Each structure stands twice: as C-alpha cells, then as structure tokens.
A and B are shown apart, each in its own frame.
Chain A
Amino acid sequence: MLDTLKLDEVVEFAENPEPRCPCVLLLDTSGSMQGERIEALNQGLLSLKDELVKNSLAARRVEVAVITFDTSITVVQDFITADQFNPPILTAQGLTTMGAGINKALDMIQERKSQYRNNGIAYYRPWVFMITDGEPQGELESVIEKASERLQGDEANKRVAFFTVGVENANMTRLNQIAVRTPLKLNGLNFIEMFVWLSASMSVVSHSQLDEQVALPPIGWGSV
C-alpha cells in the first residue's frame, strides 16, 4: 500500500504570489549630471538588470522602479519585477528638485504596499536608493525640510530603508542632514560596481526567511 503511495507525486502545492522586494531608484538627472556621469549611470542600470536576472528568485521577487529628479519629477519606470525591467537611457538637464523626488519615492512606496496588501502579496521592507551629484536646488527650503522630516519619520517607523549615494561634487554634509543613514560617496563613476552590490544586496534580502536580519555584502564602491 505504501509502495504505491509516493507523496512527491500526489501532494499539490498552493500557488501563492511570490513575495516582493521593492526598490526605488531615485536618480538625479539635473544639468550637472550631463556627459560622462549620466552615461556611466546608464551603464550601471544595465548591469543592475543583468545581475538581478542571474538569480532566479531575485528576478521574480525584486521589483524595481525608477524616478528621476531635475527641474521636474518623472516616473521613468513604475514598479516592475527585475526579469521584466528594461533599463531606461536617461538624459540630464535642469535643476535638482530633490525634495519633490523624495516625496514621490515615498508616495510610490506607500501606494505599492497597499497594492500588495490588497492582493495578498507578502513583501519585504522597501528600499530607496537615491543617487545625486549635488544638493537640492530650485525648490523652497520648506519643501526640502518637509520631505526630510517625512523621510526621517518613515525610517524611524521602518516603512522604508533609504540609502543615499553622492557622486563626485555632491554636498555630502547637506545629504547627511536630509537622510537618516550616512550617505556614501561613490568612488569616481563606479556605478557598475555599485549596482552589482545593490543587486547582490537585494538578492540576499529577497532570499531571507522570516525573522532574518540580513547582513549586506561589503561595500567596495564607495566610502562614508
């Protein structure tokens, strides 16, 4: 009787949606990013996609969104799983409305979470990865202050993990005042290494089981 009963063949599994691991890339496309910098950033985005799809679980679980901030805020890519992500080719122009960009990123995360909840999709703590070569410019000081306050509240309540990366001439002191986590300074234009790290980190997170505090890979592409 037992010989004919192979559990492996008779037990069927529930089809639940994969848990999601949302990550917003909040990218400075102001005029100062023109030339080498924006090209290096575009290359970096390609490597992010390449790296994420190497890991089949991460490819299905990590959701990427891309927001740019210059004189205006543009959602270049709404949340999409890594396997469907087509990296955009960005161009640079205009001012640096960082406060509005931060608000947009936090809005999108809030909205995405409620979509997850409405569809019974489990999720990991969302990440925002902000990259800039400058500081807020072209916005009222009060807008930036409010965005910063909101960001600090969201970090304190674990609604988001917000990382800031400064490129070359970025005003690190100013960035440090805006974000909670210490901003990292990118070595040169080493975007590729940075995005490879981001991919590895998201992969670790998207594999983590319930309850695990994950240790992220060491950072070789920047410094505090």
Chain B
Amino acid sequence: MNTFRQISQWRVVAASVCGTSHLKNKQLCQDAHDWQILPNNVLVIAVADGAGSASLGQVGAKIAVEAAIAHLAYQEISDEILAQDLLLSDLLTQTTLVARKSVIAEAAACNHEPHDLATTLIIMLATPFVVAVSQIGDGLAVAQDSTGGLSALTVPKCGEYINETTFLTAADALNTAQIKVWREKIVNIGVLTDGLQMLALNMIVGEPHKPFFLPLFAFVAQTEDKLIAQEELVKFLCSERISQRTDDDLTLVIAAFHH
C-alpha cells in the first residue's frame, strides 16, 4: 500500500483520541477513522463517532469506517464517475449502505440490536479537482480551494437539542444524509467529529473558522515524516487548551495536495 502513498501528492495526517470525560469514566474512545489513497490521487476518508448512549458505539464506529473504506477501495473509480455529480453521490450512498449493512450484521452476529452499535458516519472522496462528502449525524467536513476559499461541505446535524443526532443504524438514516459535491482545484480537506465542532465552526454563521484550519493545513502540507506528524497531532488534540473546551472524544483527519 506504500506504493500509492509514495507517488501520491496527497499528504494525510489523522488521529482519534479519547476525551477526558471518557477517560474519567474508563470508557473507550468511541470515535474511529480510516483512510486510503487509491490510484489516480483519489483519497478516501471515513470518520465515525459511536453513540455515547449505545453500549457498543465504539464497535459500530470501527466497523462503519472499515467497511466504507474497504468498499471504496474495491470500486473502480473511473474518470466518468469523477466527472458526474450524480454518479459520485450514488457511489457515496452505496458505500454508506454497505457500511450500514455491516454494522447491522455485526449487531446480529453478537446478539445485539442495531442501535446498540449506533454511530455517525462521514465519508469523503477527494481528488485534486473534486471533493464529495456524505454525512449522517453530526461532525463536519471542509475543503479549501487554490484561491484560499474555505467551504463547509457539511454542517453538524443535530435534532432540536444539542444532545440528539441521527445515526447510521436509524431506519431513516439514508434520508437524513447530507451529500455534497464541490468542484474546485482542491488544496486541502478536513474531516472531524462533533468533539471539535464548537472549536472549528462558527456556529452562528455555519462557516469554518479559518484560524483553526489554516495552521493545520500548513502543518499537513509540510509533513515529511508521517509518524512524527501524527504524534504532533495527537499531542495537539490532548493539549490542555483543547481539554478545557471539550471533554468529548476527538477525531481530526487533514490532508493537503501539492498541485
């Protein structure tokens, strides 16, 4: 798998860390992420936040991201698909369905109800010229184009109350999915779970907070050593400045493309 990474011009750094409230209660990290670089500079990312109220939320999150990435990795993502918004949306919807099926099958296999494995799911597919996202539940996906335009591709979707959201396992999950295709010269992308959204998004206007993302994008663009970069990102996510503001699990995936 390193072959693709070496010739790819994508640089990716990703981390999920356990929130301080979960550490206090000796809970596992309920966030999960996975990503892969496919041929032709197609970067696929999946991020999930297992429900705190579900007994096996962390299992649901892990299965959802792995199933999504495995499914995308087996698809032939042709230029024709990449050229058409509708085909891209279909691909993401199919992938979401596959992830949903895997989570429900796992629930059945271990004698649980699907909602015991409730999780959110964000799937992103990015090339240097287009980015497509599908999101169920809360969290946030952003992209920056070559002119510096930073766009929120999705916004956190919660119910009326901040502690309610929709999950992949819900009966109407697919109907609630936010799907967006953005055609620009893509320079950066970012995906994160709800633990960071209050820090990364100006909630009133629904726009990404540039002073949050730009230093992170500069950081990932300069990344030489993947391991050191990941360590730095984990250190940042665990820093006191962040834990003062949020006690939830945190996931952040950032990537830069050198045109």
Contact = CB atoms under 8 A, between A and B. Distances in A.
Contact of A123 (B162, B198, B215, B233): B162
A140 interface: no
A13 B199 contact: yes
Contacts of A209: 21, 52, 163, 194-195, 248
B32 interface: no
A212 B202 contact: no
B161 A5 contact: no
A129 interface: no
A168 B20 CA distance: 43
Contacts of A8: 235-236, 239, 241
Interface residues of B, number: 49
A169 B111 CA distance: 49
Contacts of B195: 209
Q: Could you tell me the dominant secondary structure of chain A's interface residues?
A: loop
B209 A13 contact: yes
A36 interface: no
A163 interface: no
A211 B164 contact: yes
A122 B239 contact: no
A123 B161 contact: yes
Given A2-B228, A209-B52, A211-B52, A11 B211 contact: yes
A206 to B, nearest CB: 9
B236 A11 contact: yes
B232 interface: yes
A38 B198 CA distance: 42
Contacts of A120: 203-205
Nearest to B53: A213
Interface string B113-133: 000001000000000000000
A14 interface: yes
A7 B209 contact: no
B162 A122 contact: yes
A11 B164 contact: no
A12 B211 contact: yes
A210 B223 CA distance: 33
B182 interface: no
A214 B162 CA distance: 13
Interface in A122-158: 122-125, 158
B161 to A, nearest CB: 5
Contacts of B167: 211
A209 B236 CA distance: 21
Most chain B CB within a 10 A radius of its CB, from A5, A13, A124, A213 = A13
A18 to B, nearest CB: 9
Contacts of B236: 7-8, 11
A210 B163 contact: yes
B158 interface: yes
A211 B51 contact: yes
Given A120-B204, A211-B118, A2 B224 contact: yes
A19 interface: yes
Contacts of B158: 122, 210
A17 B216 CA distance: 23
A115 B223 CA distance: 45
B204 A119 contact: yes
A224 interface: no
Q: Which 10 pairs across A and B sit closest by C-beta, in order of nearness?
A: A120-B204, A12-B211, A14-B209, A7-B236, A122-B162, A10-B215, A13-B199, A212-B52, A213-B53, A8-B239
22 contacts: A5-B219, A5-B222, A7-B235, A7-B236, A12-B215, A13-B200, A13-B211, A13-B241, A14-B212, A17-B203, A19-B162, A119-B204, A122-B203, A123-B162, A124-B162, A125-B161, A125-B163, A158-B161, A210-B194, A211-B52, A211-B53, A212-B52
Given A2-B232, A124-B163, 20 more contacts: A2-B225, A5-B218, A5-B222, A7-B215, A11-B215, A11-B216, A13-B200, A13-B241, A13-B245, A14-B202, A120-B203, A122-B162, A123-B161, A125-B163, A210-B137, A210-B138, A210-B162, A210-B194, A211-B52, A211-B164
